[in-house]
Amino acid sequence: MCVSEKNREYPGDLETYKTTKKGLKVFIRPATISDESHLRDFFDLLSVKSIYQRFFTPRVNLSHRFLQNFVAIDYSTKMVLLVVLKQGKKEEVIGVGQYVVMDKTNMGDLALAVRDDYQNQGIGTELLSYLIHLGKKKGLSGFTADVLGENRAMLTLLSKLNYPLEKRIVGGVFEIKFFLDPDENHARENHAHEKMNEFIP
């Protein structure tokens, strides 16, 4: 993707501090073009299981081209957030979340990863919540996510959202969709109820 310098302007107003349910204070900010080394270190420290659950493959080639997918972004059609621990001027990335906007549907396709030694501390919850918040501000219709059936943590995280989820499973992968507009959710629930009634004598 070719990203213009204008669209690459760093949205510093999106930087925020959050405290997780386990009391961990983290800094969440958009990724920048200079974060390639941070992301290389992050992905290099993920277990094979975490890599597989994020990319559906046990290994990824941490090449410049691969890492550019996370840092050469326009903050509009693609948003990548980093969860950071700050120690003075030093930053350590412990979580990465993103959405990519699909033009035809105005939906954001979600994906998250949290470093193994920081899992189960509420980082995924804060990251997902902030991505949804940004999607609302952008005017997205909703979000989609493809989640492996074995990825119970992500499935549980999504199930706790205050949005009705549409789910189907294809080849061991849950294809999940939810809408941010309550009226859209209500209309789709009524449609599903009507379709179900067609099969009730």
Positive or negative: CA dihedral 50, 66, 29, 127: negative
In a domain, 189, yes or no: yes
Q: Which domain holds residue 135?
A: 12-197
In a domain, 63, yes or no: yes
- State the pTM of this model: 0.88
* pLDDT at res. 85: 97
Nearest to 79, CA basis, from 97, 54, 60: 97
Cα separation, 52 vs 20, in Å, equals 25
Sequential pLDDT tens for the chain (201 residues): 444 444 479 999 999 999 999 999 999 999 999 999 999 999 999 999 999 999 999 999 999 999 999 999 999 999 999 999 998 889 999 999 999 999 999 999 999 999 999 999 999 999 999 999 999 999 999 999 999 999 999 999 999 999 999 999 999 999 999 999 866 544 544 444 333 233 223
Cα separation, 26 vs 97, in Å, equals 14
Q: What angle do CA 66, 130, 24 make, to 5 degrees?
A: 95
In a domain, 7, yes or no: no
User: Does an H or E element contain 135, and which?
Assistant: helix 123-138
Q: Tell me the CATH number at 160.
A: 3.40.630.30
In a domain, 165, yes or no: yes
* pLDDT at res. 156: 96
Count: domains in the chain = 1
In a domain, 31, yes or no: yes
In a domain, 137, yes or no: yes
* pLDDT at res. 89: 86
In a domain, 2, yes or no: no
Q: What are the E-state strand segments in the chain?
A: 16-19, 25-30, 78-87, 90-102, 107-114, 142-148, 166-170, 173-179
